[in-house]
Amino acid sequence: MCGIAGYTYHDTGRSADRQVLAAMNAAITHRGPDSDGFHFDGPTGIAMRRLAIIDVASGRQPISNEDGSIWIVFNGEIYNHPALRAELEKRGHIFKTHSDTESIVHAYEEYGDDCVRHLRGMFAFAIWDAPKRRLFIARDRLGKKPLYYAEHDGALLFGSELKCLLKYPGFPREMNPEAVHHYLTLQYVPDPLTGFRAAKKLPPAHTLVCENGRISTRRYWDIDFRTKESGDDLREHVRTKIEEAVRIRLMSEVPLGAHLSGGIDSSVVVGLMAGMSSRPVKTFSIGFEEAAFNETDHARAVAEKFGTEHQEFIVAPSAMEVLGPLGAHFDEPFADSAAIPLWYLSKLTRQHVTVALNGDGGDEAFAGYQRYYADAVANFYGLVPSFLRNAADALFSLLPVNGNKPVEKSPAAALRKLGHAASFGSGASVVRWGSYFSEAEKAALYTGDFAKVMEPSHGAMEQTYAAALAGTRVDRTLYTDLHHYLPGALLVKADRVTMAHSLEARSPFLDHELMELAARLPVNWKIRGTTTKWILRDLFRDFLPERIAGRGKLGFSVPLARWFAGPNLDAVRDLLGSGARCHGFLSAENISKLIEQNRSGRFDHGKKIWALLVLENWLRSYAL
């Protein structure tokens, strides 16, 4: 696991500057504290920071092919590299190391740009092809590993994080209003946008080529839900593929463990790890002093069942304490509040292991969110005559929401969302149920002509839903989530927060072969009534503790509304009060109203306030 950075001038007469590249690379030392490496060739310089996991002794980067004409810097893990290496050796390639990185450079020699189709794992890499004077960049299928790029000063710049680009002399820091507009609804900035006008994200499953002064991108993979499988052996095939996805992710030369939430996904991963390991698995969980948000008893039951070496951390997390550190690692607005507990969990986990497996991706593979069945309810509610619906919405708005309990456990919160969810179609399910600011709320919040001509933030999702390689509503929603919410929010959170602590996160459920198989499963193997992830629960019902297989989705929930009404209230008022930079385009009066409504306890504006705090911190940190 590493971080990468580099640039290439379009003018081949210019030479890459060592000091500039060193500064870009040093900005991501946290991603690879063990060593660094550089390769220069005229107008091009590529660099990396290494967190040594595989072939610790000899796998330093950059790595070249046999004659030194092709060089690579790589971030990620290639789990099929032993088989890929054997195939390439049969074809005459000679290896100097045992690292997975070297398999990629030889695969590029053999297969060209299609080398990405031969890789199973998580990756972002850059290959400098000296004979062709060509830079080839690729990102993994589902978007586990990040890649940012920009054209500036007659060069293509790239890096694992935005801070790499910001270290290039004179890189423009102009705020991207469109990015902020979408962020306020989505909690993240969707690709290819970033918070800065001058920078872009390379989307998942894409390659980028810079050659002869021209830059082009191409999608090389997509997931297809249209073909369905059936038969008696399908159940066993699903379990076997899950087991395989876990097994190949146990490859490591350094201490390895797992994050254990007590949900079904991480519990399955830990249980399978225990059966494959000769020693007790090291597991890590986090709990909170607020009893309603503390789920450690479920994790403890799984740890006892499988005899793990369990570390349980009980913390009193502070949103204001981690606001600055989180902002420094995301480099752009990002407001998924689950990053707060993950910050503490990753910090404590890294004291014991270097690699941690998790259950990320299980919800997207097997339909784990309540909204996958709640969308049908919202669609039905939308058919109710408007006068009845308006009356019901008015009644629901009076229902008290308890900020001291997770919103997932609040029927009142769900009913309050019903009218909003029914106001537009199924195409943007995550915005229906999980948006921070609606389009109407943003319009009331904006001042002047800010975002005057911006498109609705759910528009891109609806387009993806309409064009999905899928038939049913549930499959179309899963397809949309895999293209938007998963890579835009969940995987960004997991990568930045774990790598902030030099901790590698591995996610068996994000194995692309497992994802492809899950896409071919009938919908009723995933959703049955209000039961989510039916096949996963059924397959592992006798394997897991009884209370785990039937648990619903909770995730990392934090009591933001209570914090911002009580212990953090003064800090919130100070940061978002007089002199706040966001007042340049957001209404100070409306922000104050949100804060006071939340303080009253009748409204839960915790996520909205957190989004504004993150935005304000970003504006101040980058002098925007």
- 321 CB-near residues (< 8 Å, 6+ apart): none
Cα torsion 58, 113, 152, 620: sign: negative
For 574, which DSSP code? H
d(CA 56, CA 557): 37
Beta bridge partners of 207: 138, 218
d(CA 568, CA 570): 6
d(CA 209, CA 226): 31
Q: Round the CA-based radius of gyration of the chain to a whole number and report it.
A: 24
Phi, psi of 484 (to 5 degrees): -125, -75
Beta bridge partners of 2: 50
* DSSP letter for each residue of 450-477: TTTTPPPTTHHHHHHHHT-S--SHHHHH
Please, are residues 230 and 531 in contact by the beta-carbon 8 Å criterion? Answer: no
- 3-state SS class at 430: helix
Q: Which of 2, 164, 210, 582 is catalytic?
A: 2
Lay out the sheet containing 148-152: strands in order across. Answer: 35-41, 44-50, 2-9, 155-159, 148-152, 200-201
Q: 């503790």: which residue's tokens?
A: 545
Residue closest to 370 by CA, chosen among 434, 287, 321, 278: 434
Cα torsion 603, 607, 613, 615: sign: negative
Tokens representing residue 244 in the block: 């395989």
Phi, psi of 466 (to 5 degrees): -70, -35
- 579 by Cβ neighbours in 10 Å (0-12 / 13-18 / 19+) ranks as exposed
Decide if 582 is catalytic: no
d(CA 422, CA 432): 8
Cα torsion 51, 57, 61, 64: sign: negative
Other residues' Cβ atoms within 10 Å of the Cβ of residue 369: 23
The secondary structure element, H or E, covering residue 617 is: helix 606-621
d(CA 578, CA 219): 46
Please, are residues 200 and 194 in contact by the beta-carbon 8 Å criterion? Answer: yes
Rounded to whole angstroms, what are the CA distances from 80 to 203, 417, 542? 23, 44, 31
d(CA 146, CA 103): 20
Tokens representing residue 492 in the block: 């960004």
Q: Residues with catalytic annotation?
A: 2
